[in-house]
Structure 1
């Protein structure tokens, strides 16, 4: 009988051990997937506030950080790897300026004050920083209508336009050459409320709009259609007036037609009498008088020198002095 009981107990022992291990959580370790962007701060939370000991180990079971509550209820914590910190109240592990080297599997073991153990695992994946979206103005834009395009050099992302907290449009990007448009009209006083947002399951980046670098109203650019029409009419009127002025003008040197009729009309209205001078009158062109006086004076002095046996004053020289 004893042998039978002993044999039955031995048969049940493996099942009893497996049940105890499952109850302790040995075969039910949970692995939490954690995504981080290179350069950011990321924390692995323990989810507890009361403990006796906490251990953090890597995938090679090497100790990274640990905390222990001492007899005087103070806490002693230490870290054995650069770039990590451990919270002495919760035992949570924080990565400062996370890098690719800090990615991988992390194992957490917690021993509470009843000396019960629990374990958990975190698989940390580190990704490249997400680029800020690019916003640019389309060639079809004008001062009255502004067409904006937002794009990002990434795939498998979502591009969206927001005005404040209100979603205006959104598309999924599978090709980095794709973009999402935004059509604005008016004076763009509220353009600073618009923003382009790109996001995926890892990160989000936002590009707010700025009036100074994108859309400007017609009043700011000076290209109001009314102003343009006024400038065109003024130019046409100026051409017509100049043409008629040139056509009616009269007399100048060499008898050419010149725009003088406005001056003559003004003199007549003021009843100012003027003398009729010929076109070649020296009084109209003083330089001719100066040349004539200089020529006469030079020839007289040259003739005097010639008569007294000096040089100059010859007939040939007089002919060469004709200007």
Structure 2
């Protein structure tokens, strides 16, 4: 094995605070390679190993039932070449071939770890390796850093699948509709340089891209990170005897993120999660007379989203106005003319009392 390079996943799969990790691993064809789970299996664990952009299940370990299932029928590439450690869940691929190159996902409960495996045919084949990252939905270009010359043949592959090529002699560009159409209408090839652009990226485009220009090879490891949502702040005004309001900052459908409360630049509290598609909530007691600005920040290793809270404006509407707002909400949910009429009377009575007090 040539070595292992570690990256923090931001979106993608990752990101921020407690993060999923993306491990880039390289191996010579014919050698064995182990993808490490880095912990002992526990009771009730369900260990899943998946491969490729389709996230095809190749190994399942059910600790409770003491069962191990290997999907050797998956296009035959893993038949007789997969071993699993029964103590840790580590995956070993023996007698590696170039078709084993690609993205592997380890899922244990709600925790995920990602591996990008690069398999070299021989020492001379090992080319330049470049990590590239992009936010989901954006475009990304993989550059050849050269000009296309006559007689050049530039071939782009995703894993073992050819996705595009350009012939320098004829200037013909061919784009292949591979892998169940995940690249359909998303690939552009520059006719001057042969550089590849992927538009409208999604997390399924994460993986290893191989550029072959005649006998020169270059490897790109692309990580596509999902965009973070803006956190939402909910508040509840305190009773008249208290000057503190309860606020709650929440984010839904997130993974590998940290949710934090700040007062100015000072961190007050935080919570992290590495689960897949989880919801996070973080409460805070705020003095509504406080003139400081509070911020709720959702972040990962790649980006952040912030929602601000002005404490002085938190409960500017109090007393009867707050009651009236609640009654209006109840009225919207009631069915029947009599019920609606009763609510109208209540609102009118509240307004009359306020007018008398003024």
- Higher-RCO chain (CA-CA 8 Å, sequence separation at least 6): 2
More helix by share: 1
Structure with greater Cα Rg:
1
More strand by share: 2
TM-score range, shorter chain: 0.3 to 0.5
* TM-score, normalised via structure 1 length: 0.42
